[in-house]
Every structure is written in C-alpha cells, then in structure tokens.
A = this chain, B = another copy of it.
Amino acid sequence: MTAHADLTRNQSLVLDRLEKAEAPLSAYAILDQLREEGLRAPLQVYRALDKLLDMGLAHRLESLNAFVACARPNCHASGLIAFAICEKCGQVAEFSDDIVHERLHDWAHREGFVVSRTTMEIRGSCRACAA
C-alpha cells in the first residue's frame, strides 16, 4: 500500500477502499464500506474524492458514475488518460496514447477550443471475459 502521507483521514480511507476494489466504486458504495469507520454522509466521501481527483490519485468514470484509484503508483497527472471498462467483470484498464492526445489537441487548436478536461471511455469486454 502506497504511503500517501499527506492525506487526511477521510481521504486515506476513501483511497484505501478504491485501491482494494477490483472494480469501480460508486460514492455510495464507498460510503457503505466506511460506515464502520464512522462516516455517515455522502458529502464526506465526495469531498475526499474531489481532493483525490485533484491530486490525480483517483479518477472518475463518467459513463459509470463511479470512481477508481489511479492505476499507476504515483502518477500525479500525465497527458490524457483513456479507460477501457469491461462490462462483464468490471475491471478497468487505464492507458494513454500520445497520438490520440495530439489529434485531439490539434482539433481543439484549429477550432480555438480551450480544453479543460477530456474523458475517454471504452466499454466492452476484456480479453478474459470475451471468451
């Protein structure tokens, strides 16, 4: 388990659950797991998640309304992350592609579009589940 020494208690609890999960967790699923730790309201989880997202330690999957821990140990940002989400087993693969990043960047530049955030999510079946 990585250190994350600078996290607050709630943030650590939330990140810990995300890291132990084998599939994305909804905020409410996290909350349910943390009731025994004393958490009682969704906002406590959402606040922790916001910080974790800011720090790049977790990601939000928009198409699932759920969250995952960042796959790379201490990624702290990086270009543009894409997610491949298996609809059978729930596993999420995280990858990035510079060419894709560049193409989208070029498009934005041509259009004068100022990008603040990009989400890219592929739904389907992973190799194991596609059999």
Q: Is A28 an interface residue (CB 8 A)?
A: no
Which residues 77-107 in A have Cβ within 8 Å of B in the complex?
82, 84, 86-87, 93, 95, 97, 99-100, 103-104, 107
**Nearest B residue (CB) for A127:** B112
Q: Is A5 an interface residue (CB 8 A)?
A: no
Contacts of A103 in B (CB 8 A): 97, 99-100, 103
Assess A93 versus B113: contact at CB under 8 Å? Given A62-B62, A100-B100, A100-B104. Answer: yes
Q: Is A40 an interface residue (CB 8 A)?
A: no
Known: A93-B113, A112-B126. 11 other contacts (CB 8 A): A63-B119, A84-B108, A87-B116, A99-B99, A100-B100, A111-B126, A116-B123, A117-B123, A117-B124, A118-B120, A118-B122
